[in-house]
A and B are shown apart, each in its own frame.
Chain A
Amino acid sequence: MRIQNKMKVNTQALNDNGGKYILCLFVSGKSPNSALAVVNIKAICEKYLKNRYELEIIDIYQHPDLAITEEIVALPLLIKKFPIPKKRIVGDLSNTEEVLKGLGLV
């Protein structure tokens, strides 16, 4: 019953948002992992979510307070804010298959 409700909300949310993906990538300056993560997520978005995504890239060094509010420890960190459920994906995002799994695209 509960799961069904959740599913309902999920589709609702998708509709409200025009089915757009809202992603947020936290990086630490220009570290190799971070640079790679930026390249990887851009490629994945262009390939699988063309025209239906919003991607924000935040440098944690510029916004250290966000590390607390977003409860960040491991970096780089990709947060899928929409569609729910919210998902946190850690790493340089080189493993495309795992990233797609995390984004619910497989």
Chain B
Amino acid sequence: MSSAMPGRRSLSGARVMLYAVLCVFAVIYLTPLYVMLTTSFKSLEEIHQGNMLALPEQWTVTPWLDAWSGACIGLECNGVHGYFFNSISIVVPAVLISGLLGAFNGYVLTKWRFRGHKIVFGLILFSCFIPFQIVLLPMARVLGILQVANSTTGLVLVHVVYGIGFTTLFFRNFYESFPNELVRAAQLDGAGFFTLFFRILLPSSIPIIVVTVIWQFTNVWNDFLFGVSFSSGDSAPITVALNNLVNSSTGVKAYNVNMAAAMIAAVPTLIVYVLAGKYFLRGLMSGSVKG
């Protein structure tokens, strides 16, 4: 009896405090987003009145349209849409290729072990700890030799190389706990190296595929340093374009257009989180093995 009561009382005491503090932090965290969103729907005059936290008196989508296809970046005034698709054409192949290679690495490092597999894994893992800045110069040289400098292809290559360490880590640890008996059963059934991977392991890997996609997509999409170093002009990703947009505005700063462009740059990662989270299925493996 007495043990139940304090629990109830703490809900009305410490709990309320806790939620209050959490709410305060949530507000602090969300305020910039709120300001960005409201500003992006205001006209410049309204912004200049200085009331940052107020809702728009007159809602307008002109800043969004401007940001998408009219704002001047450098000398061209076509908005960010071209760079948005640059980013897409970098992210999609980079995520797919690095994910697939990571999955293969994980598969071989756990199910087709060879002498020295631990060292190989250690070396791949080591690449996760190499800071971006260190590889800038050598990478520039490599891209030059391969003649893919200043192109989205070059950026895809950079992100694939940089991503393999992480994707391998994810898949290796996942396949480490994948039952070996399943692999053996499939071998007895006549499945070869690739059949085993594509028919048995990969369909059971959805949770780790989702993790890998979220991780890689976010990292590649949000990358600025590689983008600004290895691209120029038309091949730049949206992060670089956003920076140029904000810096190249002459005369009056179009805060509303800048905010809209920043939102456009942020939307895809948000979408990935929302969609992928839905497919984050747990217990997919249950049933294959008793336990």
* A-B interaction: no
